[in-house]
Amino acid sequence: MALTPYIAEIPRLLRLCGPIMVAQVAQTTMSFVDTLMAGQVSATDLAAVAVATSFWLPLILLVQGVIMALTPIISQLNGARRHGDVAAAVHQGFWLTILVTLPAMLALYYSPLALHWMDVEPLLAEKTTGYLHGILWGMPAYALYQVLRNFSEGLSHTMPTMVIGFIGLAINVPANYILIHGKLGMPALGGVGCGYASALVFWAMLVAMVIYTRRSPLLHSFDIFTRLSPPDWPRIGRLFRLGFPIAMAIFCEVTLFTVVALLLAPFGSEVVAGHQIAINFSSMIFMIPLSLGMAMTIRVGHSLGENKAHQARVISIAGIVFGSLLAVLTALATIVGRYWIGALYTDNTAVLELAASLLLLASFYQVSDSAQVISAAALRGYKDTQAIFYITVVAYWLCGLPAGMVLGLTDWLVPAMGPHGFWIGFLIGLSVAALMLIWRLRIIYVRVEHRNRAGLPLVDGL
């Protein structure tokens, strides 16, 4: 097998994923800032941010996952030079976003009721509820921003994502400071202030993206704001059927992590805080393969739009191998620097020791995590989304989470390991997902290349 085409693909992927990765790191840094600044108030405020994230993050990612179907659609239309169909696809994305965001907001508003069914201390429950009701107001802005972001990225135009990510981060830090500590005449809200600050950031990012879309010569040429297409229910249905499995796959993966935070809540604020530190840092590292995967979705979709099935295979293989090599490097860095990383978040000795030990486990699953997210992104480029959903259900809910609960909460196999057992469950679930997704990708290669050789179209639009 000649390596030249695979090596040549790496710079192309890096040019696309560079701005995406910076934007994703900026977005994750906002969560880091929330965690860091809330932790400076008290361990309870830090735990409140962690528990609240366990509620709102799966819901907002569920909405975002549905919208992510736009990226492969637009990249394929762009590759096929069917530019006239792009605006209509974006408009149906707007309508679908409204339909899925409203029930998500309702679910988020009432989600704190679950705290009454759990053994959560009253002060922690109160702060968690306040955070959730604060960030609720930013959900519509976040969802609509994602539509415009996917429109831009589907056209291989990723720079706006990076610039607006920095705008959001620049607003998040002072907004947190003002609302957490009660500056400029505002009440001191503690960790609750992080929720309201995030809502403000989401609206600022939406406004910035609308302005950019209207002024960019490339994006403005598609006239998506000139005349809004009415709802086309069959097309909205097709978009939903493509996006819903993506959303559910993301939901299943995220809940593998966030449900654990809820299960650990009865162990006390220190355990939840140590878990949150490890999750937060792991999420930042995860931005590297996630961004590479987003670039692969664009490149694979564009290649299929150009009717180049073999090139799509080359892109996928190159991305998986390159991403895995990067994961080895980040894993080694995590092992070496785990105590230093933990010390950035807290000076509580018990929390630091737990966080460092969990970061050691986190380093072991980074290769599997990289392989699974990049493989899933390649499958999205092929618009093969249902398989992603089925695989993640099996890997995370039937393998990873049950294994974590057995190891963490019971003495069935070994003495109950607490949070460490759950993190071994993460490793099991992510490894199973990586193997199954790569296997599915090999099947899709053969199927699509057979259609290509038979002269059948590879792009069907929306």
How far apart CA 428 and CA 438 sit, in angstroms, is 16
pTM: 0.85
| Structure token pair of residue 435 | 């193997």
CB 200 within 8 A of CB 193: no
pLDDT confidence of residue 28: 74
| Structure token pair of residue 249 | 């796959």
How far apart CA 314 and CA 445 sit, in angstroms, is 10
Taking the CA atoms of 160, 71, 288 and 321 in sequence, report the sign of the dihedral they define: negative
How far apart CA 205 and CA 159 sit, in angstroms, is 14
pLDDT confidence of residue 298: 93
How far apart CA 384 and CA 259 sit, in angstroms, is 27
Name the residue with tokens 């403000």: 200
Per-residue pLDDT tens, the chain, 462 aa: give them.
578 888 988 999 999 988 988 888 787 778 778 877 877 777 778 778 878 887 888 888 889 999 999 999 999 998 888 888 899 999 999 999 999 999 999 998 888 777 777 777 778 888 888 889 889 999 999 999 999 999 999 998 999 989 999 899 999 889 988 888 888 777 777 778 888 999 999 999 999 999 999 999 888 888 898 888 899 999 999 999 999 999 888 888 777 776 787 788 777 778 888 888 888 788 878 888 999 999 999 999 999 988 888 899 999 999 999 999 999 999 999 999 999 988 888 778 888 888 898 899 889 889 999 999 999 999 999 999 999 999 999 999 999 999 999 998 888 888 888 888 888 998 999 999 999 999 999 999 888 888 888 777 776 666
CB 143 within 8 A of CB 67: yes
Distance in Å from the first CA to the final CA of the chain: 36
